[in-house]
Structure 1
Amino acid sequence: MDRISRNGGRKRGHATVSDAAADLLQAVGIDLQEYDLRARAAFRALAEEVLDLRDREAGLARALEEAERLADHDALCPVFNRRAFERELSREIALAARHELPLCLLYIDLDRFKAINDTYGHAAGDKALIRVCDIILSQVRQTDIVGRLGGDEFGVILTHAGLADSQLKANRLTQRLDRLKIGEDLHLGASCGVIAWSGQSSAETFIAEADEAMFRVKSARKAVRP
C-alpha cells in the first residue's frame, strides 16, 4: 500500500523513512535494523507524527507571537496602543522606583487634527497620524516608548531622562509638528506636556498628570496664537 511521506513524496510499504524522521530515530538511539518489519513501520509512523507535532507547535508559537504583537500595537500607527503603553509605563515606574532612575512622560495632542478631517476627509487624517508617528519615532531613542493614547493623542516614555532634557525633546517635537503641512495651507501643530516621575504610584495617574500639563501648554499656545 502506498503512503504519503512528510516531504510530499509517495513511498511504498516500508520504504526508506524521511531524513528528518531517520535523524530523530537515530537521536533517540533506535536502530531500525534490530526490529522486524512491523516494528520498523510503527517506529517510522511515530517519528513522522512527532515531527508533525513539532511543526504544529512551532506554527502555533509563531501565530501566538503575531497575535500578541497585533494586540499590543495600534490598528493604524506603528506604535503601542494605550493598553500596551500603560503596561510598559507601569514597568518603567517600577524600575524607576527600585533603582531611583529618572523617568519622564510626554503627552502630545495635535492642535488642528479636526480641521484636517473636516477639510480633507478621514483618509487624509489617517495619513497625517502616520506622518506624526514617523516624526515622533525619528526624534526618540530606541529605549523610549511611543504609544497612541487616543484619536490624536500620543505618549512618549522617556527612560533614564531628566526633566530638562525631556523638555528639550518636547520642544523639538513641537517645532517639527508645527511645521507639518497638510494639504495646501493647513499646518497641523501640536501641544506637548512634560512631567517627571515623582512617586506617582500608577500609570493612570502619571498619564493624567501629563495630560493636565499638556492642556496648560495648549491654553498658553492659544493665548498667543494670532
Structure 2
Amino acid sequence: MATDLNDTSQAFIALQQENQSLKNKVVELEAEIRRLHALAGNAELPSILSRPEFIREVARMMAHDQRYGATSTMLSLSFGGLDDSMKTLGAYDFDKVVTSLADTLAHSVRSCDIVGRTGIEDFGIFLTRCKESDAHIKAGLLIAKLKERLEPLLKGKVALSLRHAVRTLQDKADLEKIRR
C-alpha cells in the first residue's frame, strides 16, 4: 500500500512538472507569435500615408491648387513583382524591402509633397507646385535611388520592374482615377 501511494505521488509530481513545462512552452510560443506578427504583414508604414489618408491629402491640396491657381503633379510608381517577392524572400526580408522603399520615397521628396501607398505594388507622390517635366526628372532620380537601396535587400533573388507615370491633376475627375 505504501508503495502504491509512493508511486502515485511520484506520478503526480511528474505530471505537475510536465504541466509547468507545457505552460512555459505556451508562454514562449505566444511571445514568438507576437514577435512574428510585429515583423510580418505590417500593413502600416509609418513614413508614408495609407491609401485613404493619401487620397484625402491629395484632395485637400488639389482644392488649394484650384483656389490659388497652382499646378501640382502626380507621380505614380509601380513595382512589378513586389507582391510575389514575399514568397521568395520571406516575410521578414519582404518587410525590410517595403519599409526601405517607403522610407526612401518619404525622405527623397520635399516636406510639402505627399507620399502614400496606393495599391499592393503601387505608390503615389503628389508633387506640389511641380510641372510634369520636373516630375519626370524627379521620377528618374527616385528610381535610380530606389534601385540602389533595394538591390542589397533583394539579394539577387527577386527582379522588380519599376514603372512610373506622371500627370497633372486638374479636377475631381482626375482624383477619381486615383481612387480606383
Q: Shorter-chain TM-score: what band?
A: 0.5 to 0.7
After alignment, is 180-189 or 88-97 more displaced?
180-189
AA matched with 2:44? A
Asked if structure 2 preserves the Cα contact closer than 8 Å seen for 1:90 and 1:202, the reply is: no
SS of residue matched to 2:127: strand
- Match of residue 194, structure 1, among 159, 166, 175: 166
- 1:200 is displaced (CA, Å) by 4.2
- 1:96 is displaced (CA, Å) by 1.3
CA separation in 2, counterparts of 1:83 and 1:132? 19
Counterpart in the other structure of 1:87: 56
CA separation in 2, counterparts of 1:128 and 1:103? 29
1:18-57 equivalent positions in 2, closer than 5 A: none
1:128-143 equivalent positions in 2, closer than 5 A: 128-143=97-112
AA matched with 2:171? G
TM-score (norm 2): 0.67
Asked if structure 2 preserves the Cα contact closer than 8 Å seen for 1:77 and 1:129, the reply is: no
- Match of residue 154, structure 1, among 107, 118, 123: 123
- 1:189 is displaced (CA, Å) by 4.2
SS of residue matched to 2:83: helix
**How big is each residue's C-alpha offset from its partner over 1:33-87, in whole Å with a ceiling of 9 and x where there is no partner?**
xxxxxxxxxxxxxxxxxxxxxxxxxxxxxxxxxxxxxxxxx62342111111111
Counterpart in the other structure of 2:155: 184
**Residue 123 of structure 1 pairs with residue 97 of structure 2:** no
- 1:159 is displaced (CA, Å) by 0.5
Q: Quick check: which has more Rg, 1 or 2?
A: 1
- Match of residue 78, structure 1, among 47, 50, 56: 47
SS of residue matched to 2:73: strand
- RMSD over aligned Cα atoms: 2.1
Structure 2 unaligned residues grouped into runs of 5+? 1-42
CA separation in 1, counterparts of 2:69 and 2:98? 35
Structure 1 unaligned residues grouped into runs of 5+? 1-73, 212-226
TM-score (norm 1): 0.54
SS of residue matched to 1:113: coil
Between the aligned residues of both structures, percent identity stands at: 27
Moved over 4 A (4+): none
Asked if structure 1 preserves the Cα contact closer than 8 Å seen for 2:115 and 2:124, the reply is: yes
Aligned residues: 135
Asked if structure 1 preserves the Cα contact closer than 8 Å seen for 2:79 and 2:160, the reply is: yes
- 1:202 is displaced (CA, Å) by 5.5
Structure with larger RCO (C-alpha < 8 A, sep 6+)? 2
